Amino acid sequence: MTITLEKMRADVAAIIHEDPSEIGFDDNLMDLGLDSMRLMNLILTWQEAGVDLDFGEFAEEFTLNGWWRAIEAKRANA
């Protein structure tokens, strides 16, 4: 399975019990209720889908756009 920005948004929405359309790509996900345990669960799911980032890289910025930039940067350097 390939990870996409929309898939990430849907996964975050599901884990914090929100509609994906309610989550903006630049919203602070911690403010929306994402905690570190839920983030770890998401990271494990995304790692299984081929995302090669760890908790520290996701913890640098708590927005979908920030995470997507990190993924794209990692892919560009691969």
- Reduced to 3 states (helix: H, G, I; strand: E, B; else coil), residue 26 is coil
Q: How confident is the model at residue 1 (pLDDT cuts 50, 70, 90)?
A: low
Measured CA angle at 71 (ends 34, 19), to 5 deg: 35
Tens digits of per-residue pLDDT, 9-47? Answer: 999 999 999 999 999 999 999 999 999 999 999 999 999
Contact 58, 43 (CB under 8 A): yes
**pTM for this entry:** 0.91
- Which tokens is 7 given? 């898939």
Q: Band of the pLDDT at 77, cuts 50, 70, 90?
A: confident
Task: Return the domain boundaries, the chain.
Answer: 11-50+57-75
Q: What distances in angstroms separate CA 35 from CA 74, 76, 78, one per listed residue?
A: 24, 29, 29
Q: What is the pLDDT of residues 40-66, one digit of tens each?
A: 999 999 999 888 888 888 888 899 999
